[in-house]
Amino acid sequence: MLYPELFKSLEAARWNMATDIPWDQFDRSLVSEEQLRTIKMNAVTEWSALPATEMFLRDNRDDSDFSAFMSIWFYEEQKHALVLMEYLRRFAPEYLPTEEELHNVRFEFDPAPAMETLMLHFCGEIRLTHWYKCAAQWHSEPVIRSIYEVLSKDEARHAGIYLKYMRRAIERLGDSARLAFAKIGVLMANTKTAKALHPTNLHVNKNMYPEDSVQSHLPDPGWLEQWLDTQIHFDAIWEGKVVNGILRNLSTLLEVPIQSAKDLSRYRKAMSSAERDPSGHLAAG
């Protein structure tokens, strides 16, 4: 089981909201109304870890080890929402999300294959790591800068843990796990489509379509693209860091050289062909 050691490592890295955030350094002149609105949107988005956890527990009923890890992931993601809300409560209470706004992002996700969902969230954590790093640079107010830097480190740790469970899945399931990871990796590493691709803006409940993404349930459903494109300026250089992080880790995980999305796509096609023809042989390179 991975959970016992993961618990120890995450406990050692845990930060204290009361003492590790420099609340006394707040400078109201350095944060705009525009920025406060985006802090609110991120707080509500982080709250959606609640329905995501419900999905993970439902779809991984046969994996108690991973389900136990969800207790930590859920705690830390809800803590992200809480620290952003605490910032607003202290310094801009007029932007504090209401309970109704938070509850609006809790709805049921359709069942989905566990391996594809695991890979999707691994990619999502890498993306959030860099979104929050970029957001910290956009802000000049020291307290919110510090908060986004702390959240970015948490998301990076979460990505590392998802990667451990992906490695375990390959040990247990072999090529079916490899193919699932490659399929989602091709989608998430495509720079033409992936810029805002994250679990919170994917369609997850066909009966609610088109309002079946987390972002569609936010007070301002269109805020994310504006935040990325015209506010924090998450440009091609930043996007390259996300894609390189995904490809580099997949290359190590799959034990094949993957330097581009095209390399990964070729690997996926070869895996798919081998799956259709069990007598086929997939070369390591």
pLDDT at 285 over 90: no
Residue 12 pLDDT grade (very low, low, confident, very high; cuts 50, 70, 90):
very high
pLDDT at 282 over 60: no
In the three-class reduction of DSSP (H, G, I as helix; E, B as strand; rest coil), residue 115 is classed as helix
pLDDT of residue 77: 97
Percent of the chain with pLDDT over 90: 86
pLDDT of residue 273: 82
Mean pLDDT of 119-128: 96
- 60: Cβ contacts below 8 Å, ≥ 6 apart: 66, 67, 70, 114
**Lowest-pLDDT range of 27-41, 171-185, 188-202, 249-263:** 188-202
Distances (CA, A) of 84 to 88, 92, 93: 7, 11, 11
pLDDT of residue 277: 58
Positive or negative, the Cα torsion across 193, 153, 120, 44? Answer: negative
The DSSP secondary-structure symbol of 108 reads P
Q: Do 139 and 54 meet the contact criterion of CB atoms below 8 Å apart?
A: no
Distance CA 85, CA 107 (A): 21
pLDDT of residue 111: 93
pLDDT at 138 over 80: yes
Residue 214 pLDDT grade (very low, low, confident, very high; cuts 50, 70, 90):
very high
Q: Do 261 and 189 meet the contact criterion of CB atoms below 8 Å apart?
A: yes
In tens, the pLDDT along 53-104 reads 999 999 999 999 999 999 999 999 999 999 999 999 999 999 999 999 999 9
Structure tokens at 271: 């895996």
Mean pLDDT of 251-256: 94
pLDDT of residue 281: 47
Q: Do 51 and 107 meet the contact criterion of CB atoms below 8 Å apart?
A: yes
Mean pLDDT, the chain, rounded, equals 93
Residue 271 pLDDT grade (very low, low, confident, very high; cuts 50, 70, 90):
confident
Q: What is the pTM of this model?
A: 0.93
pLDDT at 280 over 50: no
The DSSP secondary-structure symbol of 207 reads G
Mean pLDDT of 224-243: 95
Mean pLDDT of 186-208: 80
**Lowest-pLDDT range of 77-81, 170-174, 234-238, 258-262:** 258-262
Distance CA 51, CA 67 (A): 14
**Lowest-pLDDT range of 25-29, 92-96, 136-140, 210-214:** 210-214
Identify the H or E element spanning 256: none
